[in-house]
Amino acid sequence: MSKGRELLVGFVIIAAVAVGVVGTLWLKGVHWGRPLEPLQILVPDVAQLTPGDAVVFRGVRIGRVSTIQVEPDGQAVRVSVNLEEQVKLPADAGGVVAPESMFGDWQAEIVSRSRYPRYHFYDVPKVDSTADVRVIGGYTIPELTRLTASAEEISTNLANLTNRLELAFNEQTAQNLSRAIDNIEAVTREVRDLVNREAAVAASVTANADSALNEIEQASRAARVSFERVQQLLSDAKMDSIMDNVQLATGDIQKVSGVLANSSGDLRGTLASMDSSFARLDRITAQLESGRGSLGRLLADSTFAVRAEGVLEQLDLLLKDLRENPRRYVRLSIF
Amino acid sequence: MSIRLIDVHKAFGEKQVLTGFSLDIEEGQTLSIIGGSGVGKSVALKHVVGLLEPDSGEVWVDGRNVSVLSQEELYELRRDVGYVFQFAALFDSMTVNDNVGMGLKRIPGWTPARISARVEECLHLVDLDGYGDRFPAELSGGQRKRAGLARAIATEPKYLLYDEPTTGLDPVTTAVIDQLIVRMRSELGVTGVVITHDMDSAFRISDRIAMLYDGRIRFEGTPDEVRGTQDRVVRGFIEGRPDLLEVAS
Amino acid sequence: MRISLLRPVEAVGQAVLSAVAAVGRAGQLGLGAVRALRKGSIWGPHLLPQMAKIGVDSVPIALFIALFTGVVLSLQASYTFTGAIPLYFVGTLVGKTMVLELGPVLTGLALSGRVGANIAAEIGTMRVTEQVDALETLAYDPNAYLVVPRVLAGALMFPMVVLLANGVGVLAGWATSLSLLDMSSQEFLKGLRLFFRSWDVWFSVIKSVSFGITVTSVGCFFGFGTTGGAEGVGRATTRSVVVSSMIILVLDAFWAAVLLK
């Protein structure tokens, strides 16, 4: 064994270890020398966020998620992140856990809560406010799949409700329902705005979607008119005609659902998963019409209205996110 | 102290090679095992150093039962036994010097200087002075056999086992090897077992000659006894007459 | 009649028996090798030369394979992703595929030819020319002298060769995406880092250690089992390559099932 061969063995080992170690550290994005600023985000749920994912502030990557641990009391998840840049974060900072793209990579974005008044940021317990490390509350954007799941849950509940006791149709529920329809209108407007803005990206998709959305808007306007009629009738307390009008309203709702289902089909990627839930809604409306149970029975249970509102609110949030970060979603429609 | 094989049986698969092989080799003597090709002479020899284990029977070397020795004890025993292989079995990747010195390196306390001195001495004994730096591939057949012999004697063994040491060599080289074998016995008092089918050579070097036939020893005696025997098989073999062998079987 | 009817059954039985016997011999060899680990004075001096022979000498072929694998991965990824998936996923695919799969497996397969065949032929030749017996008679445990340094060198050096191959493969993929795919370094690196986990590198190392042990010990096994002269050596060499390639692929699936959850 000559000296040269020995040196060669040593060289290969050193080179290989260097490739392994340096390559790993480099790809993991380890920063040498610069101090890291720790921060913790408390969220009720992290969805698909994993250690190593990016932490973003105003669109700029400023750090990485280091650990994710469920709190001992099981009520929240503590996401520890290390910030590489020295940045002054807003006083009302909150963390938004959201997909970075549609390919399964997630990120934690640090935002000013005032910008997202509708997000329910997790309330940081008092204990944490005195800790060395800054702890902020976070909110996890619902996934499309979850939305579908909750819509399904609601439709199941609806089906159950129609078989329950017959109760009076009261003013409160009517108001809830009309608020829900208001929401549909608002959402529809937002979707149309978004699609208009993305017209350059997917022109053909947009054309279809746009007309569909117009229809939705009209339908829901019609629905609202019917509900106003319902309300009027309520104040007159004429139950028989209420039921007649309810029939009318149900027809309108069905139309809305049908249009929504169609337009969902057009929007494919983004709205595909909503399609089935609306289809289900459609089925339920059909059930209602066929006289199995009465609408009054159904609407008396205000939990339905609240839940429906919840779904619509989530849908609204999602669409808002869609509007703010269209790149996350719109690519999918090009498939 | 001697080599004793007692009722050794050995089969390879279906093929019975040794069927009750018994042989005594007394200390300080050289015994030749003769017999046709493929009758199991090498197999018998390999039992002596534990390269093969008997299916039944016992092998005693130097007062130790080879088949029950642990690996460590076996290696210890092998330091006292030199084995000269049929085709020398020199390590291709090493020089002659390194080949001859291999066994010596395993002896505790031997310095490199002492090893190289002993290697030189052994090479001189087999008349290979100056060949130490060559590789086995650069040697002729006879030189290789002599180098193999040098390797076997390097550790000054009490027993030397030769597996056809002169097969395929020219008469002069054969004579040189024969002289070496004789010298090992007379000068160093080594007990030797030689496998051969060269009868001239066997008569020259042996104190006793044994013939292996049909898996066991057919005949054993001094060279004179072999010459005078009436055993048809032995006569057939030493006179090169297949007709006698056929009648006997 | 009875005999000819029973013949296929007999053949199957024989095959099973010889397979079981081979496993037994392999176990014996393994046990012998583990025992021989104590005899450092025998295998110690041979470890470094074997590391040079098995590891260093394999670097060129491994890097050559890795270089072209990286290029091909990059080109094929971009071809597959056209129009649908953002191009930076080329980096993800090159990195993940190279480190998790192709680096270790292609290197393992190439070295089963280069290293495994060499070991089987070398030990096989030593076996048929009685050099293995000669080792025994000179009080060298062949397990310690031949098997241990080779298997240890394989276990130590395979991961080194694979790490280098991984690095070269990724670099080649990177260079290709820069020069042929019109991607930027930032894009490639973004993709490369996107799903990178340091566990991937460990996975690669664990796999290649197992491949190193497999290739060298299978080579030793068939080398020691050689009978029948030059033809036997040829047979042992071929079998060693075939069997170690098969074991590598099985192990590959095994590790993926066990370690990637």
Q: Are A181 and A323 in a shared domain? A: yes
Strands (E), B75-215: 81-84, 159-163, 191-195, 208-213
Q: For A52-61, A165-174, B125-134, C155-164, which range has the lowest pLDDT when averaged over its residues?
A: A165-174
Q: Are A251 and A167 in a shared domain? A: yes
The answer to whether residue A10 sits within a structural domain is no
Range of the domain at A85: 37-140
Phi, psi at A139, each rounded to 5°:
-140, 135
Could C198 and A24 be called an inter-chain contact, meaning their C-beta atoms sit closer than 8 Å?
Answer: yes
Residues 5-44 on C with a CB inside 8 Å of B are 35
- Band (pLDDT 50/70/90 cuts) for residue C43 is confident
pLDDT digits (tens, 9 = 90+) for A31-41: 666 677 888 88
Q: For A102-106, A142-146, A245-249, B162-166, which range has the lowest pLDDT when averaged over its residues?
A: A245-249
Distance CA(B162)–CA(B182), nearest Å, equals 12
- Any CB–CB contact under 8 A between C83 and chain A? yes
Q: Are A254 and A200 in a shared domain? A: yes
Q: Are A310 and A182 in a shared domain? A: yes
Given A109, A125, A140, which residue is the final one in a domain?
A: A140
Distance CA(C26)–CA(C19), nearest Å, equals 10
Given A91, A121, A140, which residue is the final one in a domain?
A: A140
The answer to whether residue A183 sits within a structural domain is yes
The answer to whether residue A15 sits within a structural domain is no
Instruction: Tell whether the model's pLDDT for residue A257 goes beyond 50.
Output: no
Q: Are A155 and A135 in a shared domain? A: no
The answer to whether residue A320 sits within a structural domain is yes
Nearest to C52 among A9, A24, A27 (CB): A9
CA C137, C140, C144, C146 torsion: positive or negative?
Answer: negative
Distance CA(C148)–CA(C38), nearest Å, equals 10
Given A140, A166, A188, which residue is the final one in a domain?
A: A140
Nearest to B106 among C35, C126, C138 (CB): C138
Q: Examine chains A and C and say if they touch (3+ CB pairs below 8 A).
A: yes
Contacts of C75 (CB under 8 A, 6+ apart): C176, C180, C181
Could C48 and A1 be called an inter-chain contact, meaning their C-beta atoms sit closer than 8 Å?
Answer: yes
What does the pLDDT read at residue A260?
A: 45
Distance CA(A252)–CA(A207), nearest Å, equals 24
- Band (pLDDT 50/70/90 cuts) for residue C228 is confident
3-class secondary structure per residue, C47-109? HHHHHHHHHHHHHHHHHHHHHHHHHHHHHHHHHHHCCCCCCCHHHHHHHHHHHHHHHHHHHHH
Q: Are A192 and A272 in a shared domain? A: yes
Q: Are A169 and A51 in a shared domain? A: no
Distance CA(C132)–CA(B52), nearest Å, equals 13
Q: Which residues of C touch A335 (CB under 8 A)?
A: 84
The crossing angle, in degrees rounded to 10, of helices C148-179 and C89-96 is 170
Q: Are A165 and A311 in a shared domain? A: yes
Domain count, chain A: 2
Strands (E), chain B: 3-12, 15-25, 30-34, 56-61, 64-65, 81-84, 159-163, 191-195, 208-213, 216-221
Q: Which residues of A touch C84 (CB under 8 A)?
A: 334-335
What structural domains and CATH numbers belong to chain B?
1-28+36-80+193-249 (3.40.50.300)
Q: Are A214 and A90 in a shared domain? A: no
Could A9 and C85 be called an inter-chain contact, meaning their C-beta atoms sit closer than 8 Å?
Answer: no
Q: Which residues of C touch B151 (CB under 8 A)?
A: 134, 138
What does the pLDDT read at residue B26?
A: 84
Could C59 and A103 be called an inter-chain contact, meaning their C-beta atoms sit closer than 8 Å?
Answer: no
Q: Which residues of C touch B81 (CB under 8 A)?
A: 137
The total of other beta-carbon atoms located within 10 Å of residue B207's CB is 16
The answer to whether residue A102 sits within a structural domain is yes
Q: Are A289 and A324 in a shared domain? A: yes
Q: What is the complex's ipTM, to 2 decimals?
A: 0.85
The answer to whether residue A11 sits within a structural domain is no
The answer to whether residue A32 sits within a structural domain is no
Q: Are A69 and A215 in a shared domain? A: no
Chain A residues whose C-beta sits inside 8 Å of any chain C C-beta: 1, 5-6, 8-9, 12-13, 15-17, 19-20, 23-24, 27-29, 52, 101, 103, 105, 331, 334-335
pLDDT > 90 fraction of chain C, expressed in percent and rounded: 42
Chain C nearest C-alpha distance from B193 (Å): 15
Task: Taking residues B107-111, report their average pLDDT.
Answer: 84
- What are the CA-CA distances from residue C220 to residues C45, C153, C155 (Å)? 18, 13, 14
Task: Taking residues C118-141, report their average pLDDT.
Answer: 90
Q: Are A162 and A76 in a shared domain? A: no
Q: Which residues of A touch C194 (CB under 8 A)?
A: 105
Distance CA(A219)–CA(A181), nearest Å, equals 10
The answer to whether residue A170 sits within a structural domain is yes
Please name the residue of chain C whose CA is at the shortest distance from the CA of residue B161: C137
